[in-house]
Amino acid sequence: MQFGTGITEEAVGMSGPAGSDRQTAREFLGKMENVQRRIVSETMSAARDVMLPLSEAFRTLDAQFLPFPAIVRKLGRDALIDPVTGQPTPPDQSVTLQDVALRYDMRAESATSLVGRSTKQQNMMLLLQAIAAVPPLMMQTNWVTVARSLWRTFEEPNVDEFILPINPQQVMLQMMATQAAGQPAPDSSGKVPGSPTQPSAAGDTMPQMVTQAGSEQYS
């Protein structure tokens, strides 16, 4: 029946009787991963056959029936700060026919984020190191967004408690001002002092962006 349904004890986080007497964590995780493949396959099927067609149907129905301009009201912290960009949410959030008349590529956001929590955190740290190793990329990175994503990845529910609401454009101006004052040269490893791996360097703008609480993340 386990083969038929695809659900084993491991799927629900239990150690099954089929395991060895001294089951290791690796064995357990391996079985869990195998079970998840089937569940993930079914989830992707649901995303492909339900969520995406529904989203497309809603968009086309909006294009036909919705009176414009329509205003989407947001409640909570996302009403002030855009959760993705980290920028202040513009006051005018009206949707027009121009918005919904376009055809978009779509993805089921949740179903494509099937990587485990700890793996996500590891990936995030690797990404930070990779960005820090490329100074031009670091300059072009929206660090407020990165910081917000970082806090979310580490499961802090209220990101705004950790990050001061600074407009990224303002941050960019500060960075440019810092550069004009004389940016420290890259060290022998190619890293620029003030990058996320070296937050305590003088003249760094990162502590301002991630705030005092956030700076602990990098120490």
What's the rounded Cα separation, in Å, for the pair 161 and 159?
5
Task: Name the one range near other proteins by CB under 8 A: 21-29, 43-51, 159-167, 186-194.
Answer: 43-51
The distance of closest approach from Cβ of residue 172 to other proteins in the complex, given in angstroms and rounded to an integer, is 17
CB 56 within 8 A of CB 101: no
What's the rounded Cα separation, in Å, for the pair 114 and 130?
23
Is 32 in a helix, a strand, or coil? helix
Task: Name the one range near other proteins by CB under 8 A: 35-43, 122-130, 166-174, 199-207.
Answer: 35-43
The distance of closest approach from Cβ of residue 146 to other proteins in the complex, given in angstroms and rounded to an integer, is 18
Task: Name the one range near other proteins by CB under 8 A: 23-31, 39-47, 139-147, 182-190.
Answer: 39-47
Which lies closer to other proteins via its Cβ, residue 9 or residue 27? 9
CB 144 within 8 A of CB 209: yes
Which lies closer to other proteins via its Cβ, residue 5 or residue 188? 5
Number of residues lying near other proteins (CB under 8 A) = 59
Buried b (16+ CB within 10 A) or exposed e, 177-186: eeeeeeeeee
Site for other proteins in 91-130 (CB under 8 A): 93, 95, 98-100, 102, 104-111, 113-114
Q: What DSSP state is assigned to residue 50?
A: I
The distance of closest approach from Cβ of residue 166 to other proteins in the complex, given in angstroms and rounded to an integer, is 21
> Out of 20, 26, 65, 91, which residue is the one contacting other proteins (CB under 8 A)?
65
User: Pick from 181, 174, 175, 194: which is nearest to 132 by CA?
Assistant: 194
CB 56 within 8 A of CB 106: yes
What's the rounded Cα separation, in Å, for the pair 96 and 71?
9
| Chain contacts with other proteins (rule: CB under 8 A) | 1-2, 4-9, 11-12, 14, 16-18, 36, 39-40, 42-43, 45-47, 49-55, 57-62, 64-66, 70, 72-74, 84, 93, 95, 98-100, 102, 104-111, 113-114
